Amino acid sequence: MNTTRRTNHTATIRRNRKSAVRYVLSIDGMSDFLRKEIIFKSGLVFLLENFEEDSEFYTLYSRDPQFWKWWIFEYETNETNFVTVFRTHGMSPNIYKYLDDARQFPHESKLGVSFEHNYLKILKNVNLSKVKRYGLQI
């Protein structure tokens, strides 16, 4: 029974995310390419905020498929929340509101915690004290 509940919850989350993506893509001026470019650039902004561009960590994480999987999950969670607020309040989003939200997202402090507790824990041989010493702002 618990497994069924978990499966239903996961399915609900996936449906909500797909619905949010469709909603975002319906915004005037938005395209699938632009949305993906925003996700990519915001991930790089997050890394640059926490690591020097020429550091081994920036290079490692910016090329790691697991980082991008984690980043897309975090971004889509934020995007779903963005859409929920607009739907709940009957507001009409526009490209400028979306871009403003996307611009602010990489600077949210909760991302540093998620980075440490969700992304870094799945990597093997990561010396967390070294990562903190060389730049992660958590």
> For residue 2, what pLDDT is reported?
62
25 vs 17: CA distance, rounded Å: 12
pLDDT number for residue 73? 94
What pLDDT is attached to residue 9?
80
Q: Which of 98, 77, 92 is nearest to 31 (CA)?
A: 98
Instruction: Name the pTM for this structure.
Output: 0.82
pLDDT digits (tens, 9 = 90+) for 2-30: 666 667 888 888 898 999 999 999 999 99
The pLDDT value recorded for residue 138 is 44
Which residues of the chain are under the pLDDT cut of 50? Answer: 1, 134, 137-138
HEC string of the chain equals CHHHHHHHHHHHHHHHHHHHHHHHHCCCCCCHHHHHHHHHHHHHHHHHHHCCCCCHHHHHHHCCHHHHHHHHHHHHHHHHHHHHHHHHCCCCCCHHHHHHHHHHHHHCCHHHHHHHHHHHHHCCCCCHHHHHHCCCCC
